[in-house]
Structure 1
Amino acid sequence: MRQRLVDRFFRYVAVSSQSKTGVLEVPSTPGQRELAEVLKKDLAELGLVDLSLSDTSVLIGRLPANLPEEFKGELPKVGFIAHLDTVDVNLSPNIKPQIIKNYAGEDICLNKDQAIFIRVAEHPELKKYIGQDIICSDGTSVLGADNKAAIATMLTTLEILQADKTLYHGELYFVFVPDEEVGLKGAKTIDFSKLPIDFAYTIDCCELGEVVYETFNAGSAIINIKGISAHPMSAKGVLLNPTLVAVDLINCFNRLETPENTDGTDGYIWVQAMESNQSLAKVTLNIRDHNKLRYENRKKYIQEVIEFIKLRYPRAKIEYTLTDVYGNIRDAITDENKNCVDYIYQAMKNLQIEPKTIAMRGGTDGSYISTQGIPTPNFFTGAHNFHSNSEFLPIDSFEKSCAMMLEIVKLIYTNKNK
């Protein structure tokens, strides 16, 4: 398993697939389509059926059930989901991975020519992996374990299931989506008629043992303000400065309820951007809260603020849009379907992995998919420091992520076969 995982990972990170913010088309970059085509061929060679690759590069394949003749009843249909894109954080799109053999606990030199290091003083988590092999980039890019470690895990698990027909399982769906890093845009184009599953898993968070089934409810607000321009020599009583209107609007929000002043399950309204000139201003807000009621109240407060500003500046033309981006996975989990989460913890117990349950201050593709009636919790890839050139992947943890997927598949069969 170990070498197959590493080989697949190196192969997939060699395909540059950064997504790009602000592009209307899905996928936002051609590299994601290229990777989807590579995966489609790999999945076909590994025996998946009903393969479909949409215009938006959502790739879906089905592994038929493998059950003994004496099995009675039905197994749930289960999906495993990874995203095709790596994040664009102004680093090189070209990933050059390397393996640090038998890590000894020192600073890691990623790139001697450019003097790029992962410093233990800044990343003390490195100390957990002394004596292990660790995959890193060359420091000029992210590593891309987010989310190509998951892709390698899914393909390797598929290969193991196909090679050993004593590993019984129900129908499994393998799903790969683009543009997760730019607002879960790819997941929102899934044709769910091709995904008749009971629940699913994303493999898209960090270190060994991490479990996520609680994420933000997320929304955005875009507020456009049209003022009245005038030359300063005749501006008195005429000029209406949209920039100042925007500033007054922004000042209505609590400065202690912002990303830099909150943690845990605290929510916030984030003034993400303001653009303005003499005539127009545009304010972009991100709304986040784990609690659904508080989230709805934050949206309501934004609307109240806008109405107040309209009263204060009756000559300004103010228009806005409020959009729900994704939901909290936990809101989709009920007493009837919570076994999808239970399987994660049982798999960790069987594999002697200590769970680290976190309320994610963000979202996964599962945060949207869960709103479609398919609860989709998330478990670890094994990597650290996503979205930076200090991202690294201990191979032991990577291997355990793959073991987790395989163990969950086994558990679903054995629990139903009791």
Structure 2
Amino acid sequence: MGTFKIEGGHQLKGEIQPQGAKNEALQILCAVLLTPEVVTINNIPDIIDVNKLISLLKNLGVKVKHLSSGSYSFQADDINLDYLKSANFKEEGRGLRGSIMIVGPLLARFGKGYIPKPGGDKIGRRRLDTHFEGFINLGAKFRYNREEYFYGVEADKLKGTDMLLDEASVTGTANIVMAAVLAEGTTTIYNAACEPYLQQLCKMLNRMGAKISGVGSNLLTIEGVDVLGGTAHRMLPDMIEIGSWIGLAAMTKSELTIKNVSWDDLGQIPNVFAKLGITLERKGDDIYIPEHKDGYEIQNYIDGSILTIADAPWPGFTPDLLSIVLVVATQAKGEVLVHQKMFESRLFFVDKLIDMGAKIILCDPHRATVIGHDFKSQLKATTMVSPDIRAGISLLIAALSAKGTSTIHNIEQIDRGYEHIVERLKKIGAKIERLDGN
């Protein structure tokens, strides 16, 4: 189990470039299974979850070439479907939540798709029903081995249909779209997710020859085609990482520039941080955060009541940044209620912040009230364990702002979502070391 040693309380300064989007990568990489032709993908983040998925694709028979930093070509012209029945696949697929995304493309092109119950963050229940109900609506037969926790769908030929999703699941929508593009006839998906990463997937599929309309809305119409071709695609910068660096700048009173953020795809993120009192300046496609010498003050509602920040489907605020918001609020002037609607275990890391001196009331598994210190009382260094990716980066930000030297164990959780984080943070002045194997 790896460890970070962090000497906190230092101001940072400089520029940081966000990595490619993790959540987009887990969809885009699986889409290469839809064609026997070459697909080139750029701006792929070098992180554990993505590298595991690339390894899984290789084991399936996809020809993978590393072209340059962040750039790969993929060709799925000789897929080994027998691998899906192997013990190695059951083990490999179980260790990666993104493995569910191979099922739609495999079902569409080869008539069968299997997956062990995926792992990933321990942040509460994350249902797969939306994925499989969509496949069943397209004509697939579903089976589930309870003893091995192994899912399967099979179909001679998928048929287009009308469907209403029970929830606007991003991965569920993406998986169903990838299945429907090669189905016979027309599919309509209502209550579809419309996140920028899903829009990226749809645009890429259209370049490959798919016929998807309504991209960016919650009603997608897909006219099935017989085959898809190759294409080149560049992934967006990771909006969760961008939000993390905004929070880091505020908590450490640092002057930072976040480069090439694709402002138009950030949605509510700049507005939410502005409500926390953080100054953000748009400079071209960069975000400039000046040094907050006098701190930052949370806005109340017009009637004076306490601000609530909650997650919601796009274009609402992403749940992946609520952990960052909660940490940033610990040093703000004022109070905020953080409402995590989607996952019932994601706020349980607050006990570690309370140990550091934060004033947080955990109201229930979904809500926490934060009373900010206004930097009058600095967080104190401590030893902690990272429970998941987003809580992990939040604890790292807290440690970088705290007085003294903190230790964070289980940093593999952070490495799952953040690329070369030690090297990148050191370049802007962070005092951080990796102590692997401790």
Fold similarity call, TM over 0.5 = no
Give the TM-score normalised by structure 2. 0.23
Computing the radius of gyration over CA atoms, which structure comes out larger, 1 or 2?
1
